[in-house]
Copies of this chain bind each other. A is one copy, B any other.
Amino acid sequence: MNTGVIITSPANPRIKEIRKLREKKFRKYSGLYLVEGLRIVGEAVKFPDLLHTVIVAPELLTSAYGQELVKKLQRQPVELLWVSAEVFSSISEKDGPQGLAAVMRQRTISLPEREIDSSALYIALESVQDPGNLGSIIRTADAVSAQGVVLVGNCVDLYDPAVIRGSMGAFFSIPVIKTELSDLFAWCSRMDLQVIGTSDSASTHYAAVRYPWRVLVWMGSEQKGLSEDIQTRVNQMVRIPMAGCSDSLNLAVATGIVLYEIVNQRSGRNPMEVGT
């Protein structure tokens, strides 16, 4: 591989800036974030507008896929930063760093104001705390062809490395929208989206509901569930029944269960008949 000049000092000012992207406050200040690994960088390069800098450690980049990717990037107008294995490891959060990372530009996505799809499916999260959960939910949203994930309240930083790891490639393909509660409800009303809320104390079984074609599903936070305020404003509350000693499922698991019920109904399945 033809490389540029290789940075060998972890104290290099550019490298120091990149390392700072591990911290939320510096991500916020710079409007940038870091992604790492062959697979995620492979997805990231499909979004050239978001790509700020690609970091390559030729010593570590042993995979043919990775080398091919870098060759392709060398023909594109993106800055490549060549670094030693030691420098790369100083940036990396992985045990076995693969020698490829990228600095990305954050993007701000708003609720769409144009007409939305007649089968629009959105997931709204209230104050989600765990980055792994948020990442898994973005990944599931992608798997069910959702139009977006909406974050309301005091949510974990979207650009936390664990969110990006958890979402796999879906991080770039699924729009994640931050907004205010009142704006979201007003938008749902304008767009004719039915709003479903989830709580373990709701009386209706999640699989007994016929989900409408345009739907937004609310999931509450890990600790507190969905707030009373939201519960009173949705069109329908549903519950995932649980036996056993726990009173809740993991948030990402619960989200997946409800979303797959919705997509199965879209494939023609009838709601479940539940004895009263």
Contact residues of A with B, CB < 8 Å?
43, 132, 136, 139-140, 142-145, 166, 168-170, 173-174, 207, 240-246, 248-250, 252-257, 260, 263-264, 267-269, 272-275
Contact = CB atoms under 8 A, between A and B. Distances in A.
Contacts of A274: 267
B142 A250 contact: no
B143 A249 contact: yes
B207 A250 contact: no
A140 B144 CA distance: 21
Contacts of A243: 142-145
Contact of A140 (B166, B250, B255, B273): B250
A99 to B, nearest CB: 19
B246 A207 contact: no
Given A43-B245, A169-B246, A257-B257, A207 B142 contact: no
In this complex, the member of A174, A253, A267, A268 whose beta carbon has the largest number of chain B beta carbons within 10 angstroms is: A253
Nearest to A255: B253
5 contacts: A142-B244, A143-B243, A256-B257, A267-B272, A268-B272
Nearest to A268: B273
A140 B250 CA distance: 8
Contact of A169 (B145, B245, B252): B245
Contacts of A246: 139, 142-143, 168-170
B256 A264 contact: no
A169 B275 CA distance: 29
Contact of A264 (B166, B268, B272): B272
A145 B243 CA distance: 6
A170 B244 contact: yes
Given A43-B245, A168-B246, A267-B272, 12 more contacts: A143-B243, A143-B244, A143-B246, A143-B249, A144-B244, A169-B245, A170-B245, A207-B269, A252-B253, A253-B255, A264-B272, A268-B272
